[in-house]
Structure 1
Amino acid sequence: MSATSQGTASEWMWRYPECRLLISAVGTALAFPPISVWWLLFGMPALWLRVLQDTPRRQRIWYAFIWGTVFITAQSWWALPTLSQQAQVEWVAGVAWVVCIVWYASWCVLFGWLVRYLPNEGIGWTVGVALSWVGISWLRSLGNWGFPWAMMSLPLARYPLFLQPAELGGIWLVELLLMLWNALLAQAIQPRQWLAFLTPTAVLILWIGSSNWLLWQARLSTPTATVRVAAIQPEYEG
């Protein structure tokens, strides 16, 4: 590919926010099983957040809905065989899948509505985005209709280095750090200056450094005796 065509593709992507939305949604979905390219979590959501930041306030809800719909569709397609097995009727499984998609996208709409009222830049926007996302993720996990599927931090479950802050604030602190990183990265994308990336890099270094310290403390306090743990899932029917 020539330099001219590469430049044209880049300009086309930045000119049309819908293109960035699709890339961000699909890329974020690829971080989840069964593909599990987990490191995409440290960049793909930032493209979406940058679109929301650059978009007029009245359009943020719409772009949040588009992102949520594309993301959850790409992330949950593998669940269709399970839904079909449980429902025993294919069209019922399809309806259930659509309901799940609309349900998740509705929470993204709420997120887009909250982002409308945040400052357009600075620390207020960054922290507001992270707190809004974590608050909405917490709300959708509550009650009988709680459905915390596709939390951003879930693909990090196999990597203890990133999960150690959960000892201090649960999975919600990990979710907050991940969205804080992406919000900072979103603000650094557009200027395209190396200095703009110092803040998100510092946050990531602090995250990994504190995780290393917590892991080291955990190894020091590891009991020598064998500990047996029983896990029970009463709602499962074999």
Structure 2
Amino acid sequence: MKEKLISLGSKSFLKPYFLGLLSALFFTLSFPKGDYSLLIFIALVPLFWASSEKEGDNLTILSLGLFFGLIHYLSLLYWIAYTLHKYGFLPWVVAIFALFLLSLYLALYPALFLLLNAQLKVFSEPTPAKGLFLSMSFVGFEFLRSTLLTGFPWGLAGYPLANFSPLLQSADLLGIWGLSFLVLFINYYLFYTLKSFSSRAIKRFASLRSQLFFLSIILFFLFYGYYQQETWEKKLMKRGDSLKVALLQGNIPQEIKEAKEIKISIETYERLLWMALSHNPDLILFPETAFPFYFPHDREPSLKLLEILERLRLTGRDSFHRVPVLIFGTFRVSNFNSSPRVHNSLLVWDGKDIADLYDKEKLVPFGEYVPLARFFPFLKRISVVSDIIKPGISKNLSFPIGENHFELVPLICFESAFPQIWVKRLRKGGDFLFIATNDAWFGKTSAPYQHFQLAIVRAVEGRRYVLQAANTGISGVINPLGQVEVKSFLEREEIILGTIRPLKDKTPFVRGGYLFPYLATFLLLASVVYIIWGNYLRGRRRYPWLKR
């Protein structure tokens, strides 16, 4: 009998963690390369169910959230360990431990999310209003994760909706934050429906109004999406100014870039440049650090690059053809207070000279700089590169093509994960977005696919064409509906050709969509204060000595 009780007790103990494991795996598989994006609509239902059975046991709820988050982020971000080992030259044990620490930090957010909602009986006594609160609080936690400690907005819950066009279209209203809200709301609706099956008939009847409430919000997003999709399809069919673009993907292995084999990079991109010219593009875009040297400090390769540009200028003059504008990535050396500063930069060549430049604003922690290195020097040992790159300022790139003047919003690599960076720039102007990246760091892992998914959502949020040029892929052209018009394969040398339309519309998200995550964060913090104050008052009633 005693053995039977122990067996039942162990099953009861393990059940919530099994459900948490199920949710974590479903959640990860809904992202690339999992390619089971439908799972995003049910991924959190097992977690909510486990939480409903353990509500009141704060320690179990907290550990369940940590367990879920740890499994999810370890499986989603496994490529970080690969990169740290292969290019940071860390032993596998150290690289995996670094991934574990990051995942543990990120897991704090779902753990606190579960604990907060359990305190308010969101799972044990589900209602439509609590569904709204849960979804908003999740957005608040995602926003905090995206901003605190330099921010890490990778893998937000709304990104798998990039594969569901009608739902994706609402990104122009509330951005990625609205998509995350919708994902959580749908999951909670399914959880609520399953819970109602166990209720009595009278409760089921009472829940009919609740069902209508849930469905009305979901249908609003759906109908809004269909309306926007039809509207923008008509807009894009109308005649207007267009640009022919060429994206160059040199497929330079990171081992070659790390070995400073500059000659190979220059020769590869010079060859692709002359091949692209045969298609008469207006604009040719190179990836991040296509020319991996310090311009103009490294004299020999800098002169070689200038020689290529001069030959291109003379070719255009002699053939009476307009020379395309080039935008290419390199490391730029500037002087600051008589000391050199290195930037990860994009330079604009307008057919005559370097006409504009952009220095990367948001650097990659432990990839381009070491946070808190001044206080903790040992952190430099786990950095992929030395701490020499300095951030630039927020700005757009402008250039003439023929009689027209264009402005693009530049983003380099990790910056495409931060909507707040490009939204600020797009408010000032910007006809389209350009993401220059070098995803060779990640090999054939899921990271390049996850990175490209960000670009799809960015296109709909701003209703702009998005051009992504990647060294090893994925490069592509995405239209304002989030439809991929053309894209490259991974680890293949390619020239991607496309036609884009410069656009001027400013979406609700660009105009003021950031009010939504701010509101969600305020609601989250207010609820924390409410819970703490409520617990304090209950404590005073239970323990009169607290009143003294």
Gap change, CA 1:116 and 1:191, over 3 Å in 2: closer
Instruction: Give the C-alpha shift of residue 165 in structure 1.
Output: 1.0
Of Structure 1 and Structure 2, which has the larger fraction of its residues in strand? 2
Mean Cα displacement is larger for which, 160-169 or 39-48? 160-169
Partner of 2:283: none
Amino acid aligned to 2:94: V
Matched residues, number: 226
Amino acid aligned to 1:86: Y
Matched, 1:233 2:235: no
Q: Gaps spanning 5+ residues in structure 2: where?
A: 1-10, 199-203, 246-407, 415-436, 439-470, 472-548
Question: In the aligned structure 2, how far is the partner of 1:143 from the partner of 1:109?
Answer: 16
1:28–1:44 Cα contact (<8 Å) kept? yes
1:80–1:93 Cα contact (<8 Å) kept? yes
Partner of 1:62: 63
1:156–1:162 Cα contact (<8 Å) kept? yes
Partner of 1:22: 21
Partner of 1:80: 81
Percent of matched pairs sharing the same residue: 19
Q: CA RMSD in A?
A: 2.8
Q: 2:225 aligns with which of 211, 219, 226?
A: 211
Matched, 1:128 2:133: yes
Q: After superposition, what is the alpha-carbon deviation per residue over 1:7-33, rounded to whole angstroms, capped at 9, x for unaligned? A: xxxxx89x9222222111111111112
Instruction: Give the C-alpha shift of residue 178 in structure 1.
Output: 1.0
The TM-score normalised by the length of structure 2 is 0.38
2:161–2:179 Cα contact (<8 Å) kept? no
Q: After superposition, what is the alpha-carbon deviation per residue over 1:167-205, rounded to whole angstroms, capped at 9, x for unaligned? A: 111110111111111111111123338987945555443
Partner of 1:4: none
Within 5 A, what are the aligned runs for 1:85-100?
A: 85-90=86-91, 91-100=93-102
Question: In the aligned structure 2, how far is the partner of 1:116 from the partner of 1:62?
Answer: 13
Q: After superposition, what is the alpha-carbon deviation per residue over 1:29-49, rounded to whole angstroms, capped at 9, x for unaligned? A: 111121120000011212212
Gap change, CA 1:39 and 1:234, over 3 Å in 2: closer
Q: After superposition, what is the alpha-carbon deviation per residue over 1:37-70, rounded to whole angstroms, capped at 9, x for unaligned? A: 0000011212212222332232322221111112
Larger Cα-atom Rg? 2
Mean Cα displacement is larger for which, 136-145 or 168-177? 136-145
Q: 2:108 aligns with which of 106, 109, 129?
A: 106
Instruction: Give the C-alpha shift of residue 79 in structure 1.
Output: 3.9
Question: In the aligned structure 2, how far is the partner of 1:34 from the partner of 1:68?
Answer: 19
Partner of 2:234: 220
Q: 1:170 aligns with which of 163, 175, 178?
A: 175
Partner of 2:146: 141
Question: In the aligned structure 2, how far is the partner of 1:160 from the partner of 1:28?
Answer: 19
Mean Cα displacement is larger for which, 37-46 or 55-64? 55-64
1:118–1:124 Cα contact (<8 Å) kept? no
2:139–2:177 Cα contact (<8 Å) kept? yes
Partner of 1:115: 117
2:167–2:221 Cα contact (<8 Å) kept? yes
Amino acid aligned to 1:60: I
Amino acid aligned to 2:15: Y
1:24–1:48 Cα contact (<8 Å) kept? yes
Instruction: Give the C-alpha shift of residue 151 in structure 1.
Output: 1.0
Q: After superposition, what is the alpha-carbon deviation per residue over 1:76-119, rounded to whole angstroms, capped at 9, x for unaligned? A: 22443223233211333222211111111111222123113323
Gap change, CA 1:178 and 1:89, over 3 Å in 2: same
2:159–2:179 Cα contact (<8 Å) kept? no
Question: In the aligned structure 1, how far is the partner of 2:183 from the partner of 2:105?
Answer: 23
Q: Gaps spanning 5+ residues in structure 1: where?
A: 1-11
1:150 alignment partner, SS class: coil
Partner of 2:72: 71
2:41–2:186 Cα contact (<8 Å) kept? yes
Name which structure has the greater RCO, CA cutoff 8 Å, separation 6+. Answer: 1
1:215 alignment partner, SS class: helix
Q: 2:191 aligns with which of 186, 197, 203?
A: 186
Mean Cα displacement is larger for which, 136-145 or 200-209? 200-209
Question: In the aligned structure 2, how far is the partner of 1:158 from the partner of 1:130?
Answer: 21
Mean Cα displacement is larger for which, 54-63 or 36-45? 54-63
1:118–1:128 Cα contact (<8 Å) kept? no
